[in-house]
Chains A and B, each alone.
Chain A
């Protein structure tokens, strides 16, 4: 294990050998051959990594994103890298009719949906406490993360899964859907809601052989996110110092590195596979131990 704290080391190689970071991944492979996965938000980091992993495992992928150019490019990249069947659909999940139409097109193209990964979402806010929070951004968090990405989409897909007699639904929540973080109430509310819906949907559809599980990703700042106001307390110039400076939020994360999209992809693959046949209604944090407790010396 390399000692961290050397500012001259590149962030990506700093932790080589630690917790799998920086070395070649030897991803676990599930045999998902012949299955169809619908994944939303595939132009984003987590959606892309999950789509690629499921394609490697043999899934045909219906890749949804709002962003046409990067969505199309990422879908082609996955198809080229894996030789898999990947079809891109431009869909805005805040448009109920668009969801209905696009699910119909996926069924027409692939005949079924075995895996649904409700991943499209975002964190919109002005980083203010509730009494100064932006109303329009508050609403957008709810419309996208809760109502569009989860409620409307699941309503359209579940009848097909019931008909098929089987299905696995995976939802992207956040550590903000498990614990309270300051100054982002639009995001926290929508994510607490989807964490809870994971559990109520698991209860509703267990007898239809549909499992519902949830991933709660932790911190994912990386140098290219420098301009994202969400990470305005992160020191991107001396990145590793974020994990050794008690003043910084990231100090509280026991595994001292940002989350990698592949950390999420492994769990998504597990939930999608038959290895998870008895696992439903679970919200699993992939957060380097962040929400396990306070890591300071109290």
Chain B
């Protein structure tokens, strides 16, 4: 992981959710290296990342949270604030994709999986943001970056809850970006493109149709997210930045 840029987030505290995901782990490492204290929401991998950051001189702690339990989210947010005192930057890991073998059309879709995905990526996104922004608004500054799926802008078949939650996140980003103007909080999103392991084998190679014909890397997303959270982006709010190899820009197949 080599970034050619550096940001100085010295003294700030970031909360990174869904930190078991590879992209959010990469982002956590980059944040720590930029002087940020990092709270991570996640399970084993998040705890491992936190240990790694502490071992390399950073300050980090992982918190296990059950996104299906609204009260648990609130309590965990309280623990984060008790531990770090404040949250300056919130990176919502709201990237969701339905596993290839679970992709079904709406009338055949597994409704338990539907509810699970909505609990974490729709209601969880709202709950975590609500608590973090309450703290930011008190201090009159802060930045939220939602890391979402490009499927919220370019709907795909077979993934009802992922499309719904990602599109809702697009809506949240745009409206939170404008409604928080009195608070000094900016809200933006990075819409991440297609990852390498998300295609059924024998599929028509969706990646070959991208303008940049490769899968999205965690570094692509982390870099954009850090920019949007930084003071360089102080005039940017309510935007969705697609980092997707051109997926949403247009139709890249030849006719």
Residues of A within 8 A of B (CB): 129-133, 135, 138-139, 142, 146-147, 151, 154-155, 158-159, 162, 176-177, 179-185, 188-197, 199-201, 203-205
Query: CB distance B118 to A142 under 8 Å?
Result: yes
Contact of B167 among A133, A181, A192 (CB under 8 A): A192
Chain A residues closer than 8 Å to B171, beta-carbon distance? 176-177, 180, 188-189, 191-193
CB distance from B180 to the nearest CB of A (A): 6
Cα A129 to Cα B122 in complex, Å, equals: 17
Interface 1/0 per residue, B101-136 and A, CB below 8 Å: 000011101010010001000110011011101100
Contact of A180 among B164, B166, B177, B183 (CB under 8 A): B177
Query: CB distance A158 to B106 under 8 Å?
Result: yes
Answer whether residue B152 sits at the interface, using C-beta atoms and an 8 A cutoff.
yes
- A131, A154, A188, A190 — which one has the most chain B CB atoms within 10 A of its CB? A131
CB distance from A190 to the nearest CB of B (A): 7
Query: CB distance A135 to B70 under 8 Å?
Result: yes
Query: CB distance A204 to B167 under 8 Å?
Result: no
**Given the known A-B contacts A177-B171, A185-B175, A203-B155, are A154 and B180 also in contact in the complex, defined by CB atoms under 8 Å?**
no
Answer whether residue B60 sits at the interface, using C-beta atoms and an 8 A cutoff.
no
CB distance from B206 to the nearest CB of A (A): 13
**Given the known A-B contacts A142-B118, A200-B157, are A182 and B167 also in contact in the complex, defined by CB atoms under 8 Å?**
no
Answer whether residue B32 sits at the interface, using C-beta atoms and an 8 A cutoff.
no
Query: CB distance B164 to A183 under 8 Å?
Result: no
Q: Which residue of B lies closest to A205 (CB)?
A: B105
Cα A184 to Cα B114 in complex, Å, equals: 24
28 A-B residue pairs with Cβ-Cβ distance under 8 Å, sorted by A, are A129-B180, A129-B183, A130-B126, A130-B133, A133-B130, A142-B123, A151-B106, A151-B114, A151-B160, A155-B107, A158-B106, A180-B238, A181-B175, A185-B172, A188-B171, A189-B169, A189-B172, A190-B168, A192-B152, A193-B167, A193-B171, A196-B152, A197-B155, A197-B160, A197-B163, A200-B158, A203-B156, A204-B157
A-contacting residues, B23-77, CB 8 Å: 70
**Given the known A-B contacts A192-B168, A196-B166, are A204 and B114 also in contact in the complex, defined by CB atoms under 8 Å?**
no
Chain B residues closer than 8 Å to A184, beta-carbon distance? 175
Cα A131 to Cα B169 in complex, Å, equals: 16
Query: CB distance A180 to B174 under 8 Å?
Result: yes
Contact of A201 among B106, B174, B238 (CB under 8 A): B106
Contact of A183 among B137, B157, B179 (CB under 8 A): B179
Answer whether residue B92 sits at the interface, using C-beta atoms and an 8 A cutoff.
no
CB distance from A221 to the nearest CB of B (A): 20
CB distance from B153 to the nearest CB of A (A): 8
Q: Which residue of A lies closest to B137 (CB)?
A: A131
Query: CB distance A130 to B130 under 8 Å?
Result: yes
Answer whether residue B147 sits at the interface, using C-beta atoms and an 8 A cutoff.
no
Cα A149 to Cα B47 in complex, Å, equals: 40
Cα A181 to Cα B179 in complex, Å, equals: 8
Answer whether residue B192 sits at the interface, using C-beta atoms and an 8 A cutoff.
no
